[in-house]
Amino acid sequence: MAATVTRRRRLRPAELLTEVVKYTVLIAVALLCVIPFIWVWSSALKSPTEIVNTPLALPAHPTLDNVVKAWVQGRLGKYFFNSVIVAVPIVFLTVALSSLASYAFARHSFPGRQVIFYLFLIGLVLPFQSIMIPLYYTLRDVGLLGTYWAMIIPSTALGLPFGIFIMRAFFQGLPFELSDAARVDGCDEFGVFWRVILPLAKPGMVTLGIFSFLGAWNSFLLPLIFMQREELRPLVVGLMFFQSRYTSDYGLTMAGATIVSLPVIIVYILFQRQFIQGLTAGALKG
Q: Which of residues 195-234 bind another protein (CB under 8 A)?
A: 214, 217-218, 220-221, 224-225
141 binds another protein, rule: CB under 8 A:
no
**Minimum distance from CB of 264 to another protein (Å)?**
5
Nearer to another protein, 147 or 218 (CB): 218
How many Cα atoms within 13 Å fall on the side-chain side of residue 103?
21
Q: Which of 13, 125, 141, 186 binds another protein (CB under 8 A)?
A: 125
Site residues (CB under 8 A) for another protein, limited to 149-188: 153-154, 156-158, 160-161, 164, 172-173, 175-177, 188
From the list 62-70, 71-79, 98-106, 199-207, the region that binds another protein by CB under 8 A is 98-106
Residue 29 carries which side chain, given as an amino acid letter? V
Nearer to another protein, 85 or 198 (CB): 198
53 binds another protein, rule: CB under 8 A:
no
State how far the Cα of 270 lies from the Cα of 210, in Å rounded to an integer. 10
Q: Which of 17, 20, 29, 181 binds another protein (CB under 8 A)?
A: 29
Compute CA distances 155 → 168, 178, 218, whole Å.
Answer: 20, 34, 12
**Minimum distance from CB of 97 to another protein (Å)?**
4
DSSP 3-state of 12: coil
State how far the Cα of 61 lies from the Cα of 153, in Å rounded to an integer. 45
Q: Which residues of 257-271 are buried (b: 16+ CB within 10 A; e: fewer)?
A: bbbbbebeeeeeeeb
Q: Which of 49, 54, 73, 280 binds another protein (CB under 8 A)?
A: 280
Cβ-contact 90, 156 below 8 angstroms: yes
> What are the φ/ψ torsions at residue 101 (nearest 5 degrees)?
-65, -45
Cβ-contact 154, 133 below 8 angstroms: no
Give the gyration radius of the chain's Cα atoms.
24
Site residues (CB under 8 A) for another protein, limited to 57-96: none
**Minimum distance from CB of 46 to another protein (Å)?**
14
From the list 64-72, 74-82, 115-123, 201-209, the region that binds another protein by CB under 8 A is 115-123
Nearer to another protein, 24 or 73 (CB): 24
